[in-house]
Amino acid sequence: MNTSPKTIQIYLPNGSPTGIRVAEITTRIVQLIDVPRKLLPEFLAMPESKQVALYFLVSKPDDGSEPKVYVGQTGDLKTRLGEHDSRKDFWERALVLVSRTHSLTQTHALFLEWQSIQTARKAGRYVDLNGTGGSRPHTPAPLEADCLEIFETGGALLATLGHPIFEPVVQTTKTAGPDELFYCKTANGDVSGKGIYTQEGFVVLASSRGRKDNVPSIAGTSDAAFRQKLIDSGVMKEEGDQVVFVKDHLFRSPSTAAVALFGRTANGWIEWKNQQGDTLDAVKRQAVNG
């Protein structure tokens, strides 16, 4: 993703920060409209809903399980989003990409839909619900160049509104050295986790291992349900008396990441340590506040 400085404007049509939001980069022709599901009728009354559009239906659970996305395109948002509202239960918000100059065509939309699905799958941050995703549509070279610029803009706007669908969870740490890695271990080896503290939270890296069984004190609690959801969604899999992370997974806090591995309540700021044995708290919080 292009990391050059950008000016992004967010407009609130009804004045509420939790209502419909319209985001745009001031020098680009497209805008992204963030629509809470409850306010779908309000959006469908807006003139922007009458355009050809690329859209993303998203859910972002608070329980640590993976967010979901469905990508679509249409020239009839009222009908298509109405169908999704009545037939798809999972989504909480619709993010709709349209042109401020009404210049988005069906050919643009088809290519953008395909590009979005492929990039989202490669990033692996959201579970996509698009099935096969289709084949690459034929797109003339000049139009494809336009699409790629629109796609870049759309990705930046999605991330700004809290949905970095196209960005891997460890994107900003691929070149991190050993000092950026933190470990969560037990003496008997039943827990052996590795992770990275990022600006979004704490990422437990693939192949990290934890205990399969929960301690009795969290049986029937939200922590136990949270760990089971990680297994059910395929983030972790069971191997013998352990669970193994199948892929990198972002947690909102170091403590929820530690709970996932230990199967008990845990203070992740203390449990996660670097190679020198310094706690995450000492490295990331005390170093700043000291």
Report yes or no on whether pTM surpasses 0.75: yes
Question: Phi and psi of 119, rounded to 5°?
Answer: -70, -40
Question: Phi and psi of 254, rounded to 5°?
Answer: -60, -30
Question: 147-159 burial, b if ≥16 CB within 10 A, otherwise e?
Answer: beebbebbbbbbe
Closest CA to 165 of 44, 41, 34: 34
**Tens of pLDDT along 108-135?**
999 999 999 999 999 989 999 998 877 8
The DSSP H or E segment spanning 106 is helix 106-123
Q: How many CB atoms lie within 10 A of CB 61?
A: 13
pLDDT given at position 178: 62
Stretches where the chain sits below pLDDT 50 are 172-173
pLDDT given at position 5: 87
Looking at the DSSP bridge assignments, the partners of residue 179 are: none
Q: At a CB cut-off of 8 Å and minimum separation 6, what does 161 contact?
A: 10, 21, 23, 32, 34, 95
Residue 212's Cβ-side half-sphere holds a number of Cα atoms within 13 Å equal to: 7
Amino acid letter for position 123:
A
